[in-house]
Amino acid sequence: MSITLHSPLDMHLHLRDGEMLQTVAPLSSETFAGAIVMPNLVPPVTTKEELIGYKARIQEAIGNDTFTPYMTLFFKPTYTKAFLESVKDELTAIKLYPAGITTNSEGGVSGFDIEELRPTLEAMSELEIPLCIHGETNGFVMDREAEFVAIYEKLATAFPKLTIIMEHITTKASVEALDKFDNLYATITLHHLLITLDDVAGGMLQPHLFCKPIAKRPEDREALRKVALEAHPKVMFGSDSAPHPQHAKEACGCAAGVFTAPIALQVLADLFKQHSTIENLQKFVSDNAKKIYKHITVPKKIVTLEKKPFVVPAKYGNVIPMYAGETLKYSIA
């Protein structure tokens, strides 16, 4: 039995730059119609010129594939309304990182003083530019996301017209926050629907499953699965596929990130099929995102999955994917 998806979207994707961009971008553009592209390069994307230049490099890397990169800026509280108006046509969202919390986030926000953030966030509200947030504090690693929920609530209350995306949520607490505020939404990754901390560190350490936010408890995974499998209208798929070269993953000081771009749709199809909710997959990987990001233009693209074994390559370039060497039940037709 085949499964047909119309214009699947990845609403949280890392494409990196340079040689890595050339390797990984075609692996997303082959199977997705578009993706929200993260801005945490070195240095981060903060100007119109950098934004346009990065988009051009992505388009060159994907060749003739039907794929729209939805571009983002790295949040700065000094962005003015005039600047945001000048870049709005090139921009889909702005990504806020707490300082130093994840890969290349050293220039992020150090504290969440509402008054300091207000000018930029009010301008974003007026211009209808969504705010994507990596929501973690600097507390104990298993509690960081749950602790950040209070900040989400403060922001959602202070800026009720601002669309706020809780990125790659991993906890039951974040799921429960979804329905408290009309302007709060979330992306959910493939790997957080599948693994818990036990899979990462319960036996031999699995560096290719180490990510931030770190995988949590079984009850957190079940909460994520519930809203994803029912295609709750406030959640959407965002892979957070985050490639690192093998030497950076299999090393002391392992880089955080799970590379899932080449297998995401195949594994999602299997997961939804196993739970008898395959009719909701289209909403989770496309329809919900189009409603949440109401200003995006999505190219038409049909992706068909068939129940045919697919052996995941051991490597793509120098990047090891999730399930490397294993056989999946579904293939891209």
179 given a catalytic annotation: no
Q: Tokens representing 201?
A: 């560190």
Other residues' Cβ atoms within 10 Å of the Cβ of residue 311: 12
Q: Tokens representing 274?
A: 């196993």
Other residues' Cβ atoms within 10 Å of the Cβ of residue 249: 21
Q: Which residue has the tokens 């090393």?
A: 251
Q: Tokens representing 19?
A: 């040689």
Measured CA to CA, the distance from residue 9 to residue 152 in angstroms comes to: 24
| Beta-strand runs (E) in 93-188 | 93-96, 131-133, 164-166, 184-188
Closest by Cα among 89, 83, 72 to 36: 72
Measured CA to CA, the distance from residue 282 to residue 275 in angstroms comes to: 15
Catalytic choice (10, 220, 240, 287):
240
93 CB-contact burial (10 Å; exposed 0-12 / middle 13-18 / buried 19+): buried
Q: Tokens representing 165?
A: 């995306």
b/e per residue, 49-86, with b = 16+ CB within 10 A?
ebbeebbeebeebbeebebbbbbbbbbeeebeeebbee
Is 38 within 8 Å of 189 (Cβ atoms)?
no
Active-site residues, by number, are 240
